[in-house]
Amino acid sequence: MTRDDPFGIYVHWPFCKAKCPYCDFNSHVRHGGIDEARFLTAYLTELKHFAGRAPGRTVTSIFFGGGTPSLMQPRTVAAILDAIAGHWGIADDTEVTLEANPTSVEAENFAGYATAGINRLSLGIQALDDSSLKALGRQHTVDEALAALDLAEQTFGRVSFDLIYAREGQTLRDWQDELTLALTHAADHVSLYQLTIEDGTPLATRHAAGTLRVPDGDKASAMYALTQELCETAGLPAYEISNHARPGSESRHNLLYWRGHDYAGIGAGAHARISEGGIKHALSTLKSPEGWLDQVETAGHGLSSDEPLSAQEAADEYLLMALRLTEGVDLARFAALSGHAIDETHVAALAGDGLVARNGSRLVATPSGRLVLERLILELAA
Ligand SMILES: C[S@@+](CC[C@H](N)C(=O)[O-])C[C@H]1O[C@@H](n2cnc3c(N)ncnc32)[C@H](O)[C@@H]1O
Ligand code: SF4
C-alpha cells in the first residue's frame, strides 16, 4: 500500500422502513423512532478512531450504504462529510455515493443530499412491475421509482439503479422486456443482481417449504447471458459480474473493494480493510445498532473484530475480489501481496477447461469461468 493508493470510507446506516423478505443485509426496523443526533455523534467518534489508524491518506470515494441511508436527514450526511474532510485530504474528483430507496418521501431529500455533497445516487428500484415489487415487499410502485429516477438524474451528476432478476415466476421473455425498458432509463451505471435466496430470510423459508418457484440452473444462466448481451448493446458493458457502466462511469468505490485497496467502515455491521505497518487488517463492527452505539460511546469505536491478515490471506482475498472484475487479476499485484507468483499448474488446468484466460499480465475469468467463480477461487487460492 502506498499513500497515493485509493482510500475509501464506507458509512453504514442500519435502518429501514420495512424489512424486505429476500434481504439479509444488516438492516433493522425501529417503529419507536431513532435518536439520529445520538447516532451522528457516534459516527463522528468512530471516524476519529479510523483517522488515528489511517493518518495521511487521501480519500478518493465515500459510500453511504444500508439499510436505507436515504432515511438519514441531509444535515446528518453533511455533518459526516464535513468530519471526513476534517480528518483526511479529499481528492478533487472524489465520488460520494448514497444508496436510496425510490419512495416519494425519500425523493424529497434528494436536493438536500446534493447540497450536502452527494454527487452519485444509487437507487434500489429492484423491479419494473408492480406485482413483483409487492412480492418483494417494496414500499414503492414502478411509477414512483421512475419519478425518483428522473428527479435523481436532474439532481446528481451520476445515477445508478439496481434491479433483481430470476424472481418468482419470471420468464426469460419477461426479463428481456423489463431490462430493455430499464436500459432506456439508464444513465451511466446499472447493477443487475440475480436473486439470491439468503439463509434465514422469509424467502428461504418459502423456498425450503417448496412454495417459492424461482428460475434456477439453466434458466438463471440464460438470464445472466441475456443481461450481458443487452447491456453490452446498450453501451453499458459489465465491468463486474453484476455491475455495468458506460466506460469511465464505473463506481470507483466498488472498484476500490475489488482491486483490494484500503477503506474505513463506520456504523453498525460495517467492514474495513486498513494497512498498518505493511500489514492489512480486516475489521468489522458490531451488527446490533444499539450495541454498536453503546460500545462507541464507551470505547470510542464499535469494532467487534480486528484481525491482521497474513500475506497469503491478503493475496487470496485480492484474487477472490479481482476475479469478479472484467479486467481480472493483476498478477504482479498478487505476487507482491503473497510473496510468490501464482501457481501456473493450476492456471494451465483451468485455462485448459476454458475457465480462465491470460490477458497480458492479467488473469481473467472467461464467461463460463464467471459462472463457477467459487471453483476458480478454490483452485487458485493457496
Ligand atoms: C444494501 S441493498 C439495498 C439498498 C436499499 N435499501 C434498497 O433496498 O434499495 C443493495 C442491493 O442489493 C440487492 N439485493 C439485496 N438482497 C438481495 C438478494 N437476496 N438477491 C439479490 N440482490 C439483492 C438489491 O438490488 C439492493 O438494491
Ligand atoms: S433491500 Fe434495502 S430496503 Fe429492503 S430490507 Fe434490505 S436494505 Fe432494507
- Per-residue pLDDT at 297: 98
Cα–Cα distance, 87 to 50 (Å, whole number): 9
Q: Which residues of the chain have pLDDT under 70?
A: 382
**How high does pLDDT run on average in the chain?**
95
What is the share, in percent, of the chain residues with pLDDT greater than 90? Answer: 92
With CA atoms as reference, report the closest residue to 191 among 229, 223, 238. 238
- Per-residue pLDDT at 301: 98
- Per-residue pLDDT at 3: 72
- Per-residue pLDDT at 377: 86
- The residue whose CA has the least distance to atom 7 of ligand 2 is 67
Q: How many other CB atoms are found less than 10 A from the CB of residue 2?
A: 5
Cα–Cα distance, 58 to 215 (Å, whole number): 44
Residue 14 CB less than 6 A away from ligand 1: no
User: What order of strands is seen across the sheet that includes strand 356-359?
Assistant: 329-330, 362-365, 356-359
Q: Choose one of 162, 167, 251 to mutate for the ligand 1 pocket test, by most ligand atoms within 8 angstroms of C-beta.
A: 162
Residue 69 CB less than 6 A away from ligand 1: no
How far is the centre of ligand 2, averaged over its atoms, from the C-alpha of 20 (Å)?
5
CB-based contact 56:50 (threshold 8 Å)? no
- Per-residue pLDDT at 382: 63
CB-based contact 283:305 (threshold 8 Å)? yes
How far is the centre of ligand 2, averaged over its atoms, from the C-alpha of 100 (Å)?
10
SS3 27: coil
- Shortest-distance atom of ligand 1 to CA 125: 9
- Shortest-distance atom of ligand 2 to CA 137: 4
- How far from chain centre, in Å, is Cα 139? 21
Name the one residue in this structure whose C-alpha cell is 478518493: 60
How far is the centre of ligand 1, averaged over its atoms, from the C-alpha of 125 (Å)?
9
- Per-residue pLDDT at 149: 97
Q: Note the pLDDT tens digit of each residue in 193-212.
A: 999 999 999 999 999 999 99
Measured from the alpha carbon of residue 72, the closest ligand is: 1
SS3 225: helix
- Per-residue pLDDT at 105: 85
Cα–Cα distance, 251 to 248 (Å, whole number): 9
How far is the centre of ligand 1, averaged over its atoms, from the C-alpha of 342 (Å)?
34
Cβ-Cβ contacts under 8 Å for 33 (sequence gap 6 or more): none
Where b means 16+ CB within 10 Å and e means fewer, 347-365 reads beebbeeebbeeeeebbbb
With CA atoms as reference, report the closest residue to 317 among 360, 259, 250. 259
CB-based contact 47:302 (threshold 8 Å)? no
With CA atoms as reference, report the closest residue to 97 among 226, 249, 311, 320. 249
User: What order of strands is seen across the sheet that includes strand 58-66?
Assistant: 238-240, 243-245, 189-194, 158-165, 120-126, 89-100, 58-66, 7-13, 262-266, 271-276, 279-285, 303-308
Q: For residue 90, give the H/E element and its range.
A: strand 89-100
